[in-house]
Amino acid sequence: MNKCALMLLALSGVLLCILPSAGAFTLDIFGNANMDDTIDADDITYLQGIINKTDKETELADANYDGKIDQQDVSAVEEIIQGVEKKLVLLDSAGKVVEIKTPVKRIIPVNRNAAEALRTIKTSDEIVAVSDSALNDKSYFPEFQQVVSVGSGKTPDFEKILTQNPDLVVYYGTQWTGDYETINDTLKKANPDISVIGLDCFKPETYVEDIMKLGYIVGRVKEAIEFTDWYNGKIDEIENVVKDIPDEAKPRVYEGGRSDFYQTGGVGSSSNNVTVMAGGKNIFADTTGDATVDPESLVKRDPQFIIWKISNIGGYALAKDNTTKFEEKQDEVTGRSELSNVSAVKNGNVYIQSADVFFGGRYFLSIIYLAKWLHPDLFEDLDPEAIHQEYLTKFQGLDYDLSKQGVFVYPEGI
């Protein structure tokens, strides 16, 4: 079972990338006996069917993970539903079995995307330390400025983690896997009571499930459902339009940048997934993962849109009309001699995008802006800024008025 993987089909000699629906997933928590997206009374019914040999045993039916299906699993599911379980067994983002001791009251999200996800489900008060990457983003994480820093998000300070006596440490699941294993082994050896899990909390194809897993882990299932329902509504609004766009009507897109080099993403990358979900065709869909590409190859593929990502300018601290650096970057990109004959440059379709709308859990904002740029006639009523504002106010608890402050994309209007 690999829901997170992309399905690749070779049709007429062309490699096409088919993405699963952002909201379609199996919740990989043991006790989810009927393999849907939640744990509820239906799982108890299904478990009874397995015990009575009228239903087939499933991968996640063993709620207490003891190797057999019996009434103890029914009791375990009942406890999960009531939120009184003593442990939760689930699969991390890498598909590894992890046992979490509950309740969880002291959390260290070394993964800054997990810090944002935890704030989304109203769990900021349980965060006792974060990595430098979260602390350095003062405008976005003001409430964490007084908590302890555990240093690098890749290789955190173990001593600082241990002194905070956390119940749970959240790392990345599918990147820096060697460091993930080291962190898990080191912390478990020092204190077996610490639970460690790798949840990415930034990939379009697994983001909803990550949020739901965190909701169960920290006892905020209701809040996780509230957010994922809202999120799925926004993504579905785009998906329902994009699915009917003929392939030949989808514009060719180069989505990259971040530096003076031509960096982009092929199949399996967030850049590719965001482009496809917004109704575009990634011109480097025949590559895999993140890569630096030859500018001659970019020119040859002639993108109709260039979405240039930047990590060091923009954000919530800027005044609304302070677009100078965005304009300078757009001028620098469009002024490159090698791009002079590219369709995106000739037709004025070069857009600059700040990390604040493509980084981590905010990637869905990138999809919304991109859909508006690529298909303005189809998304005439779509208001990316209003959705962005709702996300900040309702789910992040940030007091920002985007009509007055913050620069994230340029040009913003269509």
User: Fold identical between 86-219 and 238-410?
Assistant: yes
* End-to-end CA gap in the chain: 41
Q: Are the beta carbons of 320 and 404 closer than 8 angstroms?
A: yes
DSSP code of residue 12: T
170 sits in which H/E element: strand 168-171
Kindly report which listed range (59-68, 241-250, 312-321) carries the lowest average pLDDT score.
312-321
Q: pTM (2 decimals)?
A: 0.90
| Rounded Cα distance, 99 and 290, in Å | 32
* 3-class secondary-structure state, position 252: strand
Q: How crowded is residue 90: how many other Cβ atoms within 10 Å of its Cβ?
A: 22
Strand segments, DSSP code E, in 211-349 are: 252-257, 263-265, 281-282, 290-292, 305-310, 315-319
**What CATH architecture does domain 22-83 belong to?**
Orthogonal Bundle (1.10)
pLDDT single digits (tens) 84-140: 999 999 999 999 999 999 999 999 999 999 999 999 999 999 999 999 999 988 889
Please write the tens of the pLDDT for every residue from 362-414. Answer: 889 999 999 999 999 999 999 999 999 999 999 999 999 999 999 999 998 65
| pLDDT tens digits for range 170-199 | 999 998 999 999 999 999 999 999 999 999
Amino acid identity, residue 275? T
Burial class of residue 227 in the structure, from the number of CB atoms within 10 Å of its CB (0-12 exposed, 13-18 middle, 19+ buried): buried
Q: Which residues of 213-226 are buried (b: 16+ CB within 10 A; e: fewer)?
A: bbbbbbbbbebbbb
Q: Residues near 33 by Cβ (< 8 Å), separated by ≥ 6?
A: 43, 44, 46, 47, 50, 58, 60, 61, 63, 73, 77
Q: What is the pLDDT of residue 87?
A: 96
CA–CA distance, 355 with 353 (Å, rounded to integer)? 7
- 268 falls in which pLDDT band (50, 70, 90)? confident
Structure tokens at 380: 């005439």
Q: For domain 238-410, which architecture applies?
A: 3-Layer(aba) Sandwich (3.40)
Identify whether the C-beta of residue 102 lies closer than 8 Å to the C-beta of residue 85: yes
The CATH class of the 86-219 domain is alpha beta
Confidence at 258, pLDDT banded by 50, 70, 90: low
Q: What is the predicted pLDDT for the residue at 175?
A: 87
Q: Do the Cβ atoms of 134 and 118 come closer than 8 Å?
A: no
- Residue 117 amino acid letter: A
Confidence of residue 10 (pLDDT cuts 50, 70, 90): very low
3-class state of residue 25 by DSSP? coil
Bridge partner list, 263: 292
Domain range annotation of the chain:
22-83, 86-219, 238-410
User: How many Å apart are CA 379 and CA 57, to the nearest integer?
Assistant: 45
Please write the tens of the pLDDT for every residue from 40-87. 999 999 999 999 999 999 999 999 999 999 999 999 999 999 999 999
